[in-house]
C-alpha cells in the first residue's frame, strides 16, 4: 500500500475545495470503498478536507487521475503510484509531462471508423458531413443538373453529463458520394454509448440550380473551422470531397459525375 497525500491552497493561501478521482487503468469491476483503506476501486473520489488536504491509502499501480478544484481547470494525468511509504501527490504529478489540451482527428475513408476518446479529454466536439449527391446526365437538349452538397451536423459531448466517463469510443460511418445520374449521397454518422446518434444527411442527386456540383461551404463550430469541398464547375466531373455534389453532364446524353465522399472530425479538449 501507499499513503497518498496532498494539499491545495489558492493564491491567498486559503484552502481550496474539490476532489480527486482515481480510476485504475484496466480495473473494471472492483467495488468502491470510501473508507481510509480504499483499494483498487473502479473509480474512487477523494474529497479535500477543510484544510484543502487529503490522505488516503491506495494500492500501487497505474491510474488515471482527475483533479477537480473549485474555480480551476480540471487537471488530468495518467500516473503510476509507487509501492510503500508516503507519496506526495503533487510531487508525483510533477514527474509527468503536461497533457494535451486540444486535439482534432479527421476521418475521410469510406465506411466504418472508430475514434478513441483521449483519457484526458472532458469534452468532444463531433463535426460530420455527408456525401454529396451525384450529377444528372445531360439530355439531348440540355445539360444535367449538378448534385446537392451533403449536409453538416455537429454537437458537443460533455463527459460525465452527456456521456458516462466510461464511454471511450465514438463509432460511425463515412457516407459515400452519390452515384451519377440519380444517386443520393450517403449519410455520415457518429454514435457513442449514452449519446444520441448524430447523423448528417446525404445530398440529393441532380437537384442543383445548374450543372455545377454544389459546395457545402465550411463549418465553424466552437471557433474552429472545418473546410467543406469547393464547387465542382467542370462539366460531368466528380464532386469534390468532403461533401461536394457531382457536376451535371453535357448535352447529348453525356454523363454526370458522382458526388464527393463525406468526412468526420472529432475535437477532444479540456473545458
Which tens digit of pLDDT belongs to each residue from 93-139? Answer: 767 656 667 999 999 999 999 998 887 788 999 999 999 999 999 99
Task: Give the whole-angstrom CA distance, residue 144 versus residue 206.
Answer: 7
Last residue of a domain, one of 59, 94, 129: 94
Burial of 10 (0-12, 13-18, 19+ CB in 10 A): middle
Cβ neighbour number for residue 16 with a 10 Å cutoff = 16
176 shares its domain with 59: no
145 shares its domain with 230: yes
214 shares its domain with 270: yes
Q: How confident is residue 186, by pLDDT bands cut at 50, 70 and 90?
A: very high
Q: How confident is residue 195, by pLDDT bands cut at 50, 70 and 90?
A: very high
109 shares its domain with 173: yes
54 shares its domain with 157: no
87 shares its domain with 210: no
What is the average per-residue pLDDT within 165-176?
Answer: 93
Q: How confident is residue 45, by pLDDT bands cut at 50, 70 and 90?
A: confident
Last residue of a domain, one of 62, 94, 126: 94
What is the average per-residue pLDDT within 208-214?
Answer: 95
| Residue whose C-alpha is closest to residue 48's, from 26, 28, 32, 72 | 72
Average pLDDT, the chain: 88
Q: How confident is residue 171, by pLDDT bands cut at 50, 70 and 90?
A: very high
Last residue of a domain, one of 33, 64, 94: 94
CATH number (domain holding residue 56): 2.60.40.1120
The cell numbers describing 120, all together, are: 484526458
249 shares its domain with 129: yes
Counted domains in the chain: 2
Q: Residue 73 above 70 pLDDT?
A: no
Cβ neighbour number for residue 2 with a 10 Å cutoff = 18
Strands (E), the chain: 2-7, 18-24, 44-47, 53-58, 61-69, 75-81, 86-88, 102-107, 111-116, 123-129, 152-158, 169-174, 188-190, 198-200, 219-221, 224-226, 263-269
H-assigned helices in 131-261: none
Name residue 127's beta-bridge partners. 154, 265
What pLDDT is recorded for position 7? 86
Task: Give the whole-angstrom CA distance, residue 55 versus residue 4.
Answer: 6
What pLDDT is recorded for position 12? 66
160 shares its domain with 257: yes
Task: Give the whole-angstrom CA distance, residue 63 versus residue 25.
Answer: 5
Q: Residue 1 above 60 pLDDT?
A: yes
Task: Give the whole-angstrom CA distance, residue 213 versus residue 244.
Answer: 6
Q: Residue 18 above 80 pLDDT?
A: yes
The whole domain housing 29 covers 2-94
- Per the listing, cell 473509480 goes with 43
Task: Give the whole-angstrom CA distance, residue 101 versus residue 165.
Answer: 17
Q: How confident is residue 227, by pLDDT bands cut at 50, 70 and 90?
A: very high
45 shares its domain with 164: no
Task: Give the whole-angstrom CA distance, residue 154 versus residue 107.
Answer: 15
Least confidently predicted of 31-35, 61-65, 70-74, 257-261: 31-35
21 shares its domain with 118: no
H-assigned helices in the chain: 89-94
Least confidently predicted of 100-109, 187-196, 199-208: 100-109
Q: What does the longest C-alpha to C-alpha distance in the chain come to?
A: 87
- Per the listing, cell 447523423 goes with 199
129 shares its domain with 262: yes
194 shares its domain with 79: no
Q: How confident is residue 61, by pLDDT bands cut at 50, 70 and 90?
A: confident
- Per the listing, cell 446526365 goes with 137
Amino acid at each position: 500500500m501507499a499513503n497518498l497525500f496532498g494539499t491545495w491552497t489558492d493564491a491567498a493561501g486559503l484552502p481550496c475545495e474539490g476532489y480527486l478521482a482515481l480510476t485504475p487503468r484496466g480495473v473494471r469491476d472492483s467495488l468502491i470503498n470510501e473508507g481510509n483503506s480504499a483499494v483498487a476501486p473502479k473509480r474512487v473520489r477523494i474529497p479535500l478536507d477543510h484544510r484543502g488536504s487529503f490522505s488516503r491509502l491506495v494500492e500501487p499501480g497505474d491510474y488515471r487521475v482527475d483533479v477537480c478544484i473549485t474555480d480551476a481547470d480540471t487537471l488530468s494525468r495518467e500516473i503510476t503510484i509507487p509501492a510503500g511509504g508516503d507519496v506526495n501527490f503533487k510531487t508525483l504529478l510533477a514527474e509527468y509531462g503536461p497533457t494535451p489540451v486540444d486535439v482534432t482527428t479527421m476521418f475521410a475513408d469510406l465506411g466504418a471508423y472508430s475514434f478513441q476518446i483521449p483519457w484526458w479529454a472532458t469534452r468532444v466536439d463531433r463535426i460530420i458531413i455527408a456525401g454529396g449527391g451525384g450529377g444528372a446526365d445531360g439530355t439531348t437538349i440540355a445539360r444535367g443538373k449538378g448534385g446537392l452538397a451533403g449536409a453538416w451536423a455537429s454537437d458537443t459531448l460533455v463527459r460525465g453529463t452527456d456521456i458516462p466517463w466510461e464511454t471511450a469510443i465514438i463509432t460511425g460511418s463515412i457516407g459515400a458520394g452519390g452515384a451519377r445520374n440519380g444517386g443520393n449521397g450517403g449519410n455520415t454518422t457518429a454514435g457513442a454509448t449514452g449519446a444520441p446518434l448524430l447523423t448528417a444527411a446525404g445530398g440529393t442527386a441532380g437537384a442543383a440550380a445548374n450543372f455545377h456540383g454544389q459546395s457545402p461551404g465550411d463549418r465553424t463550430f466552437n471557433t474552429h473551422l472545418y473546410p467543406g469541398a469547393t464547387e465542382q464547375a467542370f462539366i460531368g466531373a466528380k464532386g469534390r470531397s468532403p461533401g461536394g455534389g457531382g457536376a451535371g453532364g453535357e448535352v447529348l446524353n453525356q454523363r454526370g459525375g458522382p458526388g464527393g465522399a463525406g468526412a468526420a472530425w472529432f475535437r477532444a479538449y479540456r473545458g
